[in-house]
Amino acid sequence: MILKRLLTAPALFAAAGALLAAGLLLAFLYAPTDSSSMGFSQKIFYYHAPIAECALLAFAIAFVAAILYLRSDDPRYDVLGMVAIRLGLLFSLLVMATGMIWGRAAWGVWWTWEPRLTTFFVVCLLYTAYFVLRQTVEEESRRATFAALFAIVAFISVPFTFFATRLMPSGLHPVVIGPGGGGMPGSDLLAFFVSMIGMTLLLLAMLRQELAVEHLKEELHHLKNRIGA
Amino acid sequence: MTLAEAVKYVAAAYAIILIVLVAYSMFSARRISALQRELQVLEEAVDKSAKRLGGE
């Protein structure tokens, strides 16, 4: 009962807000300024990396929802997958925008065809195509089946993006968490993990809210059908 | 890069995050209130027709 109350959208939004504010304070007041060539612009990292992880997490949720839909034919999983991909794209948009700004500050260019950026760009294109696919199929169960299959296939690109810097080190994008610890001092890690947890809670809050909206839309649709409005 | 230049980039990045999240919240809140209004109208329509049927 208590857990259920804690997992409501407003409670999750409040917890996310508090942790994100704490993460920001830790990043600017506690974590030292990067001594490498990145300098102060490295402060973008504390929200940029958690947003990227959340985008990939949202796509992973959609992947699991797609498998569950194909196994059960339960339309709730189709809605969950759609909402997760929508939020994944929103977070991806933020990653691309903040990444471009950081790239300009750190590398002197807005864009470079570096492995992580390129694979992330491909992920964005793939998941945008998911919504194009949904628009083209009218019949509900066929649309849900095609969308689920597409979400499963598209997810293949996600691990490539995550491991891009490890598999194809270009020297531009650093490995944050790796076997060697990623080279971040403890104070950096604290600010990063607090922001990371905050951002994950924000994603879950938005997911819950979007699901509630979709549920409300469905209720309205059924009510209209019943009264012939 | 000077500190002043770096501060501008950092501020721009965090401003974009804030703007997108606030825009999302506003869009979401508007969508919810529109759906709630629609639901209210439908509920009133259902109540009226139920009363009419009861009166006949």
Which of chain B's residues have a Cβ under 8 Å away from the Cβ of A212?
32
Find the CB nearest A105 among B9, B14, B16: B9
Running DSSP on this structure, what letter comes out for residue A177? Answer: S
Among A24-38, A100-114, A197-211, whose mean pLDDT is lowest?
A: A24-38
pLDDT for position A117:
85
Of the pLDDT bands very low, low, confident and very high (cuts 50, 70, 90), residue A37 is: low
Among A28-42, A127-141, A171-185, the range with the most confident prediction by mean pLDDT is A127-141
Q: Are A161 and A123 in contact (CB under 8 A)?
A: yes
d(CA B27, nearest CA chain A) in Å: 11
Q: Is the pLDDT reported for residue A47 higher than 90?
A: yes
CB pairs under 8 A between A and B: 76
Q: Are A68 and A151 in contact (CB under 8 A)?
A: no
Residue-wise pLDDT for A2-20, tens only, equals 666 667 888 899 999 999 9
Residue whose pair of structure tokens reads 């990444």 in the numeric block: A99
Of the pLDDT bands very low, low, confident and very high (cuts 50, 70, 90), residue B53 is: confident
Residue-wise pLDDT for B6-24, tens only, equals 899 999 999 999 999 989 9
ipTM over 0.95: no
Whole-structure pTM value? 0.86
Find the CB nearest A209 among B28, B39, B49: B28
Overall average pLDDT of the A132-147 stretch? 94
pLDDT for position A16:
93
Residue-wise pLDDT for A160-204, tens only, equals 888 877 776 666 666 665 555 556 667 788 889 999 999 999 999
Other C-beta atoms closer than 10 Å to the C-beta of A206 total 26
Q: Give the separation between CA A72 and CA A65, rounded to whole angstroms.
A: 10
Q: Is the pLDDT reported for residue A154 higher than 80?
A: yes
Contact B20 A102 (CB under 8 A): no
Contact B16 A217 (CB under 8 A): no
Q: How does the average pLDDT of chain B come out, rounded?
A: 86
Other C-beta atoms closer than 10 Å to the C-beta of A41 total 26
Residue whose pair of structure tokens reads 């994950």 in the numeric block: A200
Residue-wise pLDDT for A56-112, tens only, equals 999 999 999 999 999 999 999 999 999 999 999 999 999 999 999 988 888 888 888
Q: Give the separation between CA A47 and CA A31, rounded to whole angstroms.
A: 14
Which of chain A's residues have a Cβ under 8 Å away from the Cβ of B13?
44, 47-48, 97-98, 101-102
Q: Determine the length of chain A.
A: 229
Which of chain B's residues have a Cβ under 8 Å away from the Cβ of A90?
20, 24
Overall average pLDDT of the A41-70 stretch? 94
pLDDT for position A183:
62
